[in-house]
């Protein structure tokens, strides 16, 4: 989700009923139906859900700008992608007043979500329940002009696509607010990474001069210093470059407690000499977005893009759910099985995007060594290691194809712990401490782990040091190798058991 520091325009003069059918390109734009006071109307279902009530946008300047913005670039691909996903989905969608197509609800504020179900009003007080996924989006003149509308539309549509093919996203254990900078969990990484890969694709295909100018930073604004704006730059640039396989350059925590957690969640530093563990990468939406981008955008022609997405949708439709220890690895394996001619290519993409970290400690170390010597200008070392590195990756690709090396051979299990007395906000900028802190012992950063352990930095440090030599195979393994005292071991075991007491958590 994006939070814009933009003024939200209310197009009060545009809420006149129009025919409720998919507009040009298979996309329907809805605006809020309003009461006499001008407030957006909602309606409650018997299950307690409060659903928005939308009505088709009327003819006028806003509709013309929206249609122009979606007539080219990545937005022009979306209706075809939607038709592909619907054709393969095992779910039933019922929206009698519209039928098929992409539904975009232009909310008043804070929009940027993939949602399910809404009411559609015909302008005469008659409402019909539309049981389908839709995009809740905030739009104004500025966001259309500078391409943010185009970019966020594609991102949120990515979530709609996955839900069409895999169903509603299941609850996850991690409560960390999602970000390309943050380690969460493999399911969240898969979901958010798929949405994010559309953003650099949108930039590559855009016909919007405003979008291109924003990407070149030709019209800077103080609002660009805001966190989500900075993250947008990273999504547009570092995803294609694969920067998220590297760990943090900060060697020591800058603060402790909740302030330390906030700083860890917004750490932009990347160390070219440190390749993140395979477990952390599978829980990184930045890494997931890189894999999706390289798999799907190998060619920017319309025909080639549609052909690649068609393969992806066929694979996901056969799976039809979100379950899996490492969904990204499952995807690569399924792609190779279903399309054997692509096996070497998709395996190579995955290994390169992860530095081989999930498959082999030696490959991960070789990636870190080559990157470090290259980043620091050590020419002799770089030239010595480069051919060996290429040979190692070619050999690993062949070994995977031959069944001699598993893509998850070096991947440890998830070992979740929680302290019900330690809470975090839903996002770094929130003040309300809404959720318990939950971490995976095999991916947690030192600051967050120390915060969960009630500030016990010594215990956190011993766990991290033991983990750096080899990921933990179990809680007992963590206790043994970190040389925990009986009291410390009992506390870690209790925190692990308390995972089962947590209420279900589903990200918005």
CA triplet 451, 454, 459: central angle to 5 degrees? 85
Residue-wise pLDDT tens digits, 309-364: 999 999 999 998 998 889 999 999 999 999 999 999 999 999 999 999 999 999 99
Question: Of residues 24 and 399, which shows the higher confidence score?
Answer: 399
Residue pointed to by tokens 């947590």: 502
The 10s digit of each residue's pLDDT in 215-230 is: 998 878 888 899 988 9
3-state secondary structure of 228: helix
Q: Which residues contact 79 (CB under 8 A, 6 or more apart)?
A: 25, 26, 27, 101, 102
Q: Is the pLDDT of residue 18 over 70?
A: no
pTM of the entire predicted model:
0.93
What are the φ/ψ torsions at residue 361 (nearest 5 degrees)? Answer: -65, -35
Give the helix/strand (H/E) hosting 351.
helix 343-354
Q: Are 463 and 478 in contact (CB under 8 A)?
A: yes
The whole-angstrom separation of Cα 358 and Cα 396 is 12
Kind and range of the H or E run holding 363: helix 361-375
The pair of structure tokens assigned to 385 is 């290691």
- Sign for the pseudo-dihedral over CA of 264, 265, 270, 274: positive
DSSP states of 260-300? HHHHHHT----EEEEEPPHHHHHTBHHHHHHHHHHHH-SS-
Residues 347, 117 contacting (CB under 8 angstroms): no
Quick one: three-class SS letters along 305-346? HHHHHHHHHHHHHHHCCCCCCCHHHHHHHHHHHHCHHHHHHH
Q: What's the pLDDT score for residue 111?
A: 74
Evaluate if residue 123 carries a pLDDT over 90: no
Q: What is the mean pLDDT of the chain?
A: 91
Cβ-contact 436, 502 below 8 angstroms:
yes
Contact of 163 with 82, CB cutoff 8 Å: no
In this structure, the chain runs to a length of 508
On whether the CB atoms of residues 385 and 373 are closer than 8 A, the answer is: yes
pLDDT digits over 428-459, tens only? Answer: 999 999 899 999 999 999 999 999 999 999 99
Count Cβ neighbours within 10 Å for each residue of 194-230 and write b for 16 or more, e otherwise.
Answer: bbbbbbbbbbebbebebbeebbeeeeeeeeeeebbbe
In terms of DSSP H, where are the helices of 70-208?
A: 78-88, 141-145, 148-166, 186-205
Please write the tens of the pLDDT for every residue from 94-120: 998 787 899 999 999 877 899 999 999
The pLDDT of residue 461: 94
Q: Which two tokens stand for residue 180?
A: 């390309």
Looking at residue 368, its pLDDT comes to 97
- Residue 422 — φ and ψ, nearest 5°? -115, 120
């Amino acid at each position: 989700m994006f939070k814009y520091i933009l003024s939200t325009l209310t197009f009060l003069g545009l809420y006149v009923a129009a025919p409720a059918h998919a507009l040009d390109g298979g996309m329907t734009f809805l605006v809020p139906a309003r009461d006499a006071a001008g407030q957006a109307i909602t309606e409650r279902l018997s299950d307690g859900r409060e659903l928005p009530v939308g009505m088709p946008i009327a003819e006028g300047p806003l509709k013309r700008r929206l249609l122009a913005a979606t007539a080219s670039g990545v937005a022009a691909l979306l209706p075809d992608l939607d038709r592909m996903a619907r054709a393969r989905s095992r779910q039933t969608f019922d929206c009698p007043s519209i039928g098929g197509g992409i539904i975009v609800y232009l909310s008043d504020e804070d929009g940027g979500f993939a949602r399910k179900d809404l009411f559609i009003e015909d302008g005469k007080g008659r409402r019909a329940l539309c049981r389908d996924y839709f995009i809740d989006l905030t739009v104004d003149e500025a966001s259309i002009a500078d391409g943010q509308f185009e970019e966020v539309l594609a991102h949120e549509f990515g979530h709609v696509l996955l839900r069409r093919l895999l169903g509603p996203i299941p609850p996850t254990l991690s409560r960390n607010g999602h970000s390309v900078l943050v380690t969460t969990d493999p399911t969240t990484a898969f979901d958010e990474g798929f949405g994010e890969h559309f953003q650099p694709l949108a930039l590559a295909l855009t016909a919007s001069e405003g979008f291109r100018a924003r990407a070149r930073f030709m019209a800077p604004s103080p609002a660009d210093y805001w966190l989500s704006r900075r993250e947008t730059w990273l999504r547009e640039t570092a995803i294609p470059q694969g920067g998220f396989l590297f760990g943090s350059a900060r060697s020591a925590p800058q603060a402790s407690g909740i302030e330390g957690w906030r700083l860890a969640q917004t750490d932009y530093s990347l160390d070219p000499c440190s390749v993140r563990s395979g477990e952390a990468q599978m829980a990184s939406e930045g890494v997931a977005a890189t894999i999706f981008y390289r798999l799907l955008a190998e060619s920017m022609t319309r025909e080639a893009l549609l052909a690649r997405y068609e393969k992806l949708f066929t694979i996901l439709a056969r799976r039809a759910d979100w379950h899996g220890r490492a969904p990204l690895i499952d995807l690569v394996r399924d792609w190779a099985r279903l399309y054997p001619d692509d096996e070497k290519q998709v395996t190579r993409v995955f290994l390169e995007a992860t530095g081989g970290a999930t498959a082999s400690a030696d490959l991960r170390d070789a990636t870190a060594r080559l990157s470090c010597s290259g980043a620091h200008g050590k020419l002799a070392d770089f030239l010595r290691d480069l051919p060996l590195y290429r040979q190692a990756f070619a050999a690993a690709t062949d070994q995977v194809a031959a069944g001699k090396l598993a893509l998850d051979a070096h991947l440890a299990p998830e070992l979740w712990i929680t302290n019900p007395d330690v809470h975090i906000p839903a996002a770094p900028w929130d003040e309300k401490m809404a959720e318990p802190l939950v971490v995976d012992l095999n991916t947690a950063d030192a600051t967050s782990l120390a915060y969960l352990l009630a500030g016990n930095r010594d215990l956190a440090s011993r766990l991290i040091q033991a983990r750096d030599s080899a990921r933990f195979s179990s809680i007992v393994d963590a206790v043994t190798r970190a040389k925990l005292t009986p009291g410390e071991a009992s506390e870690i075991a209790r925190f692990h058991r308390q995972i089962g007491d947590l209420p279900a958590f589903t990200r918005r």
